[in-house]
Structure 1
Amino acid sequence: MVNKTAAKQLIEENISSNKVMVFSKSWCPYCKRAKDVIAGLYAQYATMELDQRDDEDTMQDVLLEMTGGRSVPRVFINGKFVGGCDETLKLHAKGMLIKLIQA
């Protein structure tokens, strides 16, 4: 079990070392949609499947503190939280998602 400090450090390391970082659950249809949209832009992204971790609840608690939400997906681009599935799809529909990724 990872404590909150270690969990936050791991989350922050993943966000800072990946242009696009998606915190996800492998079974979640909203996560799949967000990842499919990003992949459809031929953008490289990293993902952390929280349901495959022993510290899933701790990680989600830290994401809640960082983003105001515990639900997945939690999508970060260039170190900034852009939202979940709905926000990611809205950015894509406006042509803004690719611009954020390319920035």
Structure 2
Amino acid sequence: MDRVRDLASKKAAVIFTKSSCCMCHSIKQLFYELGASPEVHELDNDSYGKEMEWAIRSLGCNPSVPAVFIGGRFVGSSKDVISLHVDGSLKQMLKDAKAIWF
């Protein structure tokens, strides 16, 4: 859990993904389209990936990816991020965390 929290706090927007996950790709694209450059950690390409996946699941993220952190705070999985985008609050969260400036 410490590794996940440490990585999640290093940038304004952090996404834990798996390289073969289509929802992970969609969430990354959404962030890029909003002007953010999230730090992406692909769990299937990380030697600590399994341990980090279990830590993310313990936060309540099921499925475990994508797991999104904004401003060091756990936001949720793809359905949570999409809900925030639809209601207009995702962009403001990214602004508040200084992940985007406009």
The two structures have a TM-score, normalised by structure 1, of 0.85
Where structure 1 has 5 or more consecutive residues not aligned to the other structure, the ranges are: 1-7
* Pick aligned residue for 1:26 from 9, 16, 19: 19
Q: Which has the higher helix share?
A: 1
Aligned-pair CA distance for 1:21: 0.5
CA RMSD of aligned residues (A): 1.2
Where structure 2 has 5 or more consecutive residues not aligned to the other structure, the ranges are: 97-102
* 1:89 matched to 2:82: yes
Maintained 8 Å contact 2:61/2:76: no
The one-letter code of the counterpart of 2:60 is G
- Stretches of 4+ moved more than 2 A in 1? none
* Pick aligned residue for 1:61 from 54, 57, 62: 54
Aligned-pair CA distance for 1:55: 2.8
Residue identity over aligned pairs, in percent, reads: 29
Q: Secondary structure at the match of 1:81?
A: strand
The two structures have a TM-score, normalised by structure 2, of 0.85
Deviations 1:50-103 (CA, angstroms, capped at 9, x unpaired): 0112332211111122x1225200000011111111111111111111100000
